[in-house]
A and B are shown apart, each in its own frame.
Chain A
Amino acid sequence: MNGLRDILSQGAQMSLVLGLAPLLTGFVRKVKARLLRRRGPPLLQPYRDLVRLMRKDVVLADNASWLFRVIPYLMFAGTWVAASLVPTFGNGLLFSWTADLIAITALLGSARFFQALAGMDVGTAFGGIGSSREVMIASLAEPAMLITAFSVAMIAGSTQLPTVAEFMGSDAVGLRVSLGMAFVALTIVALAENARIPVDNPATHLELTMVHEAMVLEYSGRHLALIDLSSQLKLLLYVSLIACVFLPWGTATADASVARLALGTLVYFGKLTVLGFLLAVFETAIAKMRVFRIPEFLGAALMLALLATLLRFVSGSL
């Protein structure tokens, strides 16, 4: 009985993230448009796009290999699993111990690995540009992410997100300078990883500025749909990650009552709204930077994260 319940809640989690991801993107777009005094696309536009793409034929470049066709599914699956492992409405779900923070980072890493390969498969100049820039960004963003994970884990004494969330929720934490740094670092990483302004512009198709779009240039139809979906999942993942680590209040525990779970879900929606809004504001407020400014931006994140780990001893020894 209990096992069934666990499986149910786990399944709920997976379908929840899958369902919410396009909505979040749509929401951010909408808010951005509003801030720019445009009406903007309807909230549900992303879903429509997805469905339309799904229906279309796939137009495959002549010398695209089998890998090119497999990669979208791999990316989607990896991202989806990663996203569903981050606590959203409830903690300590059945499989939440399958992978900890580091493993989640690595899962996203493998998704990116294949995406970069996909960019090079057809053998076009743009794919190459995209991939090489992507790995350059990743080679800084991923360590920053990991080190942030270190600092959080050293404070919370665990890399298990549920445990971290509980610890953060408890009042053992107090306000710590290293936590603040970790938060900033994580935000920067999130921006970079999701190809948001100022690192990359999801809306652009200006050849020389695009990174993420250049990689998926050759994709079409259902493949493109999956890739879009997985990037939306990624965005959701990061948002809910920040939510669960830095705003851990209100999440339910696994064995809580259904009502409690429902409440947790509502709280979660609330967090998403707030963070999504902030993201939109930030994106409209700031300008896209040149590709070779990005390393400095991310380097700052790296330094902050490292500082956070080191300062942890100072504050820890207080």
Chain B
Amino acid sequence: MSSLQFDIAHLLAGSLVLASFMMLYQDRLYALLNVYALHAGVLALSVAWQAYVQQAPHLYITALIALAFKAIIIPVALHRIIKRLGIHREIENVIGVGLTMMAGIGLVALSMVVMLRVTPGADALAREDLAFALSVVLLGLLIMVTRRNAVSQVVGFMSLENGLVLAATGAKGMPLVVEISVAFSVLIAFIVIGIFLFRIRERFDSVDVQALDRFRGERR
């Protein structure tokens, strides 16, 4: 492929990582949701670009899903839920943002190291893509483990999953990509519905506030 195509793909993937970083230092829920919408948008763009580059029309569907479902529906739904359940607007971090950012940078470096050891046999785009995708995944996990707040944890998971889709689309000619992205959307829908059903205000740990300090079937 031409270098231009490559650069654009590269740019998009890179900006996805950037978006992850932005999510990492948000401390307001709404802002976080907006950034996530942006994240999903960028993903949709890069997927679409991959579809165009690889002449793989089915990828457009994935892109569409990403755009419609993740960039629009989910954030809106979450906005609603937050309002409905009256969840705190600010996010409690476990460790300070600064430290989190440092950790994030470390993770990105790690993923680069891991991926660049791969022999250039696999074409450059794939390698770059994978490197970025891996860092997005790791950052997503980092968000999940550094936020005490249920919704932000969900958002972290969704960004992680974006990374997966990025990787999947980056893998040229990979079958079942669409199915997988659909399956994942279903999964996420489940989670969101779960949050709504189980009235999860604060954390994953317990299904409602009263149950926060219930014993887990084991305390004496």
A and B touch in the complex (CB under 8 A): no
B residues whose Cβ falls under 8 Å from a Cβ of A: none
A residues whose Cβ falls under 8 Å from a Cβ of B: none
